[in-house]
Structure 1
Amino acid sequence: MNVMNDSPRRKELTRQAAQLFVQEGFDRTTVRMLAQEMGIKSGSLFHHFRDKQEILAAVIEEGTENALGIARAALDDCDSDPASRLHAMARAHLETLLTDRNAHVVALYEWRRLDAPARAHLSHLRDAYEALWEEVIDDALAAGLIRGDRFLVSRFVMGALNWTVRWYDPDGERTPDELAGELVAMLTHPAG
């Protein structure tokens, strides 16, 4: 399976499909709707994609590749102490949600709609992203910065960050950096 393609037109079509999948849901989105949104004929869509499944896989792959790139760059650019790395990952995750929201939402809510070959093809990207989080959380646990089970901590953190797509207003009173700081403060300064 070769989902990614550097064609600017295909990338634009993928972004438009992501928006439609967010608005309508994957199951309710038809090929005709996709073609209309993209300003092409239904048959022309198949010049760029084999089928609707490949479009979904392309959306998720592009979004996950972007998330990985943002996270890796954030870790490369931050200090090496566990608190800085935890903050950098939280900020990178929020940046992904804010700059590539549609692809991220599709990956969160439509992953289960992927067929088995697409899931197998894309699992390594999801696993690589989760591995970055696990490494950062392991370092924070080892330093005594946070406590708990790595699996649960990573799921709670990513769940909280992912939920921001529902309530966070980028034009509101808190910046993504401040939001990431709040999350790290909650994790590292337990009540009591």
Structure 2
Amino acid sequence: MVGKDKCIDGIELTDANSAKGKLINTAAKLFKAKGYARTTVRDIAAELGILSGSLFHHFPNKEAILCTAMAEAILKVISSMEQELKSTGDSKEQLRILIHCEVRALHNENSPGFQLMVPEWRSLNADNRAYILSLRTRYEAHWHEILDTLLLSGVVNVEAKFQRHFIRGSLLETCNWYKPSGTLTEQELADKVFQSIVY
């Protein structure tokens, strides 16, 4: 019997091995490779080996798939991040954790929903954008809290909102050159980013 992933904030996440989970993951990979606008319902169905109409058993439309892929991906990252942050009270180590969590999310081929938030943000309608924004705000709050603490302690010398833009931009750029199968592990990549910020 197909089960579900753990519940986060009252939201029951889709089991990745269920038919719905495979649909979400397959669609997200196509959205990433071809772009949301250029990916049709037929493309998704063909990749899954099912009839187009079968997709509507799980979702009312293509946008609902995109929104779910983004929402579940960011919820999983938030859950993992919040759990790992509990392991230390040291702000520098917490920053290292945040960087590593984002590197993992950006390069996780099995959960591409997180990687769609920047390029496909405008593909969502106003209600869906507001929902994803609420999740993103919670995610970003951890970054700002830790960066503010590091600024007050003199570890960094740039305000949190600017520092976060620099870090986000650097990490997003790794999608253009970093290969998880290469000589640099995700942890080593995260450490190099961390070392470029904290001396």
**Structures share fold, TM-score greater than 0.5:** yes
Q: Distance in 2 between matches of 1:184 and 1:166?
A: 19
- Find 1:88's aligned residue among 94, 97, 108: 97
Q: Give the structure-1-normalised TM-score.
A: 0.90
- Kindly indicate whether the alpha-carbon contact (under 8 Å) linking 1:146 and 1:188 is maintained by their aligned counterparts in 2: yes
Residue 5 of structure 1 and its aligned partner are, at CA, apart by: 5.4
Residue 70 of structure 1 and its aligned partner are, at CA, apart by: 2.2
Q: Distance in 2 between matches of 1:165 and 1:33?
A: 24
Q: How does 1:131-146 map to 2 (within 5 A)?
A: 131-146=141-156
Q: Where does residue 86 of structure 2 map in the other structure?
A: 76
Q: 1:19 to 1:60 in 2, by over 3 A?
A: same
More relative contact order in 1 or in 2 (CA 8 Å, sep 6+)? 1
- Kindly indicate whether the alpha-carbon contact (under 8 Å) linking 1:14 and 1:59 is maintained by their aligned counterparts in 2: yes
Q: More helix by proportion, 1 or 2?
A: 1
Name the amino acid aligned to 2:92.
A
Q: 1:16-63: per-residue Cα shift (whole Å, max 9, x none)?
A: 001110111000011111111122111111111000110110111111
Q: Distance in 2 between matches of 1:84 and 1:42?
A: 47
Q: Where does residue 40 of structure 1 map in the other structure?
A: 50
Structure 2 spans left out of the alignment, 5+ residues: 1-10
What RMSD, in angstroms, separates the aligned Cα atoms of the two structures?
A: 1.7
Identity %: 32
Q: Distance in 2 between matches of 1:53 and 1:22?
A: 14
Q: Distance in 1 between matches of 2:132 and 2:112?
A: 17
Q: Distance in 2 between matches of 1:110 and 1:19?
A: 13
Name the amino acid aligned to 1:84.
E
Q: Where does residue 112 of structure 1 map in the other structure?
A: 122
- 2:84 corresponds to 1:57: no
Q: Give the structure-2-normalised TM-score.
A: 0.87
Q: Where does residue 149 of structure 1 map in the other structure?
A: 159
Residue 179 of structure 1 and its aligned partner are, at CA, apart by: 1.7
Q: Figure out how many residues of one structure are paired with residues of the other and give that number.
A: 186
Of residues 86-95 and 6-15 in structure 1, the stretch that sits farther from structure 2 once superposed is 6-15
